[in-house]
Every structure is written in structure tokens, then in C-alpha cells.
Amino acid sequence: MKKANEIDLKNHRLKFLIVGEPKTGKTRLLGTYPGNVFVFDLDDGIITLIDRENVYFETIVEPNPKKPSALKKTNVLLNQLSESVRDGSKPSLETPDGERVEFDLVALDGSTELLQFIMNNVTWMNGRAGMMPSREDWGPQMVGYMNFISQLKSLPCDTAVVCHEKLIEDQAEGKLKMAPMVTGQLANRISGKFDLCFRTCVKKAGKEFKYEVLTQNSGVYQAGTRFMDALDPFEEPNLEKMLSKIETYKNKKGKGVGEKSNQVEA
């Protein structure tokens, strides 16, 4: 048994969930991370990071849903990252010119696409490749998705998952809310699996557009952090600057997270 105020924040690996509407800077946010980044580019949006020398990627698409292959490629790549880890090392991959690169952040960019890859595989295995999913297909899809996320989060580095968002009805409160675009009840639960849930957004002020990151739950949009006082409600979309604030928070709290450690908002 351990005491909450003895949690080792220094070696804690951060887990990010980044949600938002299309073209609000979700992928671009990954490029502001201060270290080597590997991106599972399932959303085909890596071109937005073309100016980033520290970003590596693999684009995976599904050429034929009736003969699914994308999920296998995605899982093989994740397994390679997992198997590359040695005592004290970070996950790594080899570039075409033979250089092995270690990664400080591994990110899944395209939860919607991964869910589709999994569904393509489920319907194919059930003899209905390329057809509309049946009721019994959704359970295996959710299990497959969460298994992938769990393996991703187990990597000895920071990890991030990027999601679109969707409108859902909160039955308990009787109002509409925005949530990550994942299957079924995962939309309500998935943010609790991450340390930091960020929502990218764009505000218009006159003729100017300002990109921001929401870091706290507004009651309508899902966001939040386990580092209670580290970030402002709205932050500049720059992970390096936000991580600097979190590092200051860690130093302030010392080894543990303090008396608020059991008051997690996510």
C-alpha cells in the first residue's frame, strides 16, 4: 500500500487526450512537443507538421474495406514500438537510412479511423466484409479499440490520442454535451483514462482568429487535468509551454501531488 503524497511525479509519463472539431489545431498541437514525436497518421493530416524536424510518422490507410489490412499494419507497428523497449530505453523505430530514433512522445492521430479499421476487420471475420455493422459488431470494436489504447499507454514515454468530437445527450442532466467521437459509452468514459484532456478551439475576434486549448471541463466540452492548478482554463496551443507549467507544478508539490491528488477532474 502506498500513500498518495508519495507519488513519484518526476518519472510519471504523461498521457494526453486531444479532442476538437476538424481544423482546430489538434495535429498541429502534437508538433509543439519538445522532443522526438512518432505519429500513427491514420487521419492523413501529417502535412500540417511538414515544418517539424522532430516529428516522424507512418501513414496507414484502408485501401479496400472488403479486404481489410490497415488494422494489421497498425498493430504490427505498435508491437514494434513495444518490442523495441529495453531496460531504461524509450520506444524506437528504424528510419529507411538505418538510423534508430527513440521517441519521447508516441501519438495516435485518428481515433475515428482506427475504430473504422477495427470494424472493417470485425465484419470481415464475421463473413460480412464491407457491409453495414450489425448489433453484435460494436462490442468487439470497443474492446479492440481499448486494447490498442492500453498498449499505447503502456509505452515508457509520453503518449497522446487525438479524437474528433460529437454531440451526445447527458441522460442524467438532461442536456447536450460534446464528447470524444468514439463508440457508445466510451464517449463518456475515455477522458478518465488520461492525465490531460485538451480541447482545441478557435475563437473569432473581429477579423482575427485565435487558436486556444481548453484545459478545464466547461460543462459542455470535455477537458480537464489531474494537475489541478498547473494550467490556466485556456492555454496557448503549445505543449512545450504547457509542459513547462506542469514541471513547475511538480517541483512545487515535491514528490507527491498533495492533498488534492484524489480530486481528479477528467
Q: 38, 57 in Cβ contact below 8 A?
A: yes
Instruction: Write the pLDDT tens digit of every residue in 126-154.
Output: 999 989 999 999 999 999 999 999 999 99
Q: What's the CA gap between 90 and 105, in Å, rounded? A: 9
- Residue 91 DSSP one-character state: P
For cell 527513440, name the residue. 102
Q: What's the CA gap between 155 and 36, in Å, rounded? A: 14
Q: Where are the alpha helices (DSSP H) in the chain?
A: 26-30, 70-83, 111-125, 138-153, 186-189, 239-253
pLDDT exceeds cutoff 80 at 260: no
Quote the Cα angle for 219-202-196, to 5°. Answer: 50
Q: What string of DSSP letters covers 110-159?
A: -HHHHHHHHHHHHHHHTT-TTSPPPGGGHHHHHHHHHHHHHHHHTSSSEE
Task: Tell the burial category of 122 from Cβ atoms under 10 Å away from its Cβ (0-12, 13-18, 19+).
Answer: buried
CA 260 to chain centre: 25
Beta bridge mates, 167: 178
User: Strand, helix or coil at 188?
Assistant: helix
Comparing CA positions, the residue from 51, 18, 53 lying closest to residue 211 is 18
**What is the pLDDT, as a whole number, of residue 218?**
85
Q: What value does the mean pLDDT of the chain take?
A: 90
**pTM of the full structure:** 0.90
Backbone angles phi, psi at 180, to 5 degrees: -55, 140
**What is the pLDDT, as a whole number, of residue 254?**
61
Instruction: Write the pLDDT tens digit of every residue in 57-67.
Output: 999 999 999 99
